[in-house]
Amino acid sequence: MRKYLQWAILVAATVSMAALCWGAGSQFRFAAYGDCRDGHEVHRKIVRQMLTGKPAFVIATGDFVDRGDNEAAWQIFADIVSPIKSAIPYYPIIGNHDLEHGGKGYYKKNLGFSSNTGQMRYYSLNYGNSHFIVLDSTNLDEQQLQWLQADLKSSEKKFKHRFAAFHYPLWTLVPRRVEATEKVRQQLQATLTAAKLCGVFLGHDHYFYMTKQEGVTYMTTGGGGAALYDMDESLAHPGDKYCKCNHFIRVTVSSKRATAEVRDPAGKVLDQFVICSH
């Protein structure tokens, strides 16, 4: 009986320590991925693997369906992500495909939640020692950009790490999208650099791509199930990481740094790197 009690106390202590380790304290995990669209089987596998890491939440970088007005596609999507949404927060980002043909309100119906801005286009949230900013890059209007500046100012020096997430990338390995990324850079890069963000999570391009620019780590995670894109490696910068692969990113945040693992749908680690270190 005494041995059983000792074992029970040890198990309870271990569980308690795990909760402290991965809770909303100085160290926690989250997952990021995007562009699942109609790749349902890949998407299901990624959802299962993301949950194995016991993340505090998931950030999804958009393009949840192939056509925003397709109710049946939204129903499939809702079924696939239900294991996540029933367990932890799922923070969505608007992608261009989600609003195609008007969207008919399916985005809000399937992904709506109460944000600090009262709507889903852009919002921010805090977890542990970190601040997260979500933008709608499909419509970067003046109102949103003013809100971004105000949010960055109000969160300055209050958090060890600050991250941003939106759909359109600032750099690409797809030649036909170079011009579009230049436009996004003109709108956002100076602001993100001045704010000294740790990292930015992006979608739209169907592969994994990481580039560090002016102290900020930009991560395109568009391997959630949609057909993968070929990459033109001549567009990459020295030190960039990339792969034509279905994947998600598992992020571990501690008191002094944030690290990332790129994992495939079977859970295999494809790459790993430091996002930021303070």
52 domain-assigned: yes
78 domain-assigned: yes
The CA distances from residue 208 to 51, 64, 150, 177, in Å, are 20, 17, 31, 15
Residue numbers of the chain with a pLDDT score lower than 70: 1-25
40 domain-assigned: yes
243 domain-assigned: yes
6 domain-assigned: no
Question: What is the Cα–Cα distance from 13 to 109, expressed in whole angstroms?
Answer: 41
Task: Give the model's pLDDT for residue 19.
Answer: 36
Q: Which has the closest alpha carbon to 187: 237, 224, 144?
A: 144
CATH number (domain holding residue 170): 3.60.21.10
Instruction: Answer for the pair 222, 35: CB distance below 8 angstroms, yes or no.
Output: yes
Sign, Cα dihedral of 240, 126, 165, 185: negative
Task: Give the model's pLDDT for residue 25.
Answer: 53
Task: Give the model's pLDDT for residue 8.
Answer: 38
Task: Give the model's pLDDT for residue 103.
Answer: 75
Instruction: Answer for the pair 222, 34: CB distance below 8 angstroms, yes or no.
Output: yes
Range of the domain at 86: 26-277
93 domain-assigned: yes
Task: Give the model's pLDDT for residue 102.
Answer: 74
Please enumerate in sequence order all residues whose Cβ is within 8 A of that of 115, keeping only pairs 6 or more positions apart, or say none.
123, 125
166 domain-assigned: yes
15 domain-assigned: no
Task: Give the model's pLDDT for residue 16.
Answer: 33
Domain count, the chain: 1
| 112-147 pLDDT tens trace | 999 999 999 999 999 999 999 999 999 999 999 999
Task: Give the model's pLDDT for residue 9.
Answer: 33
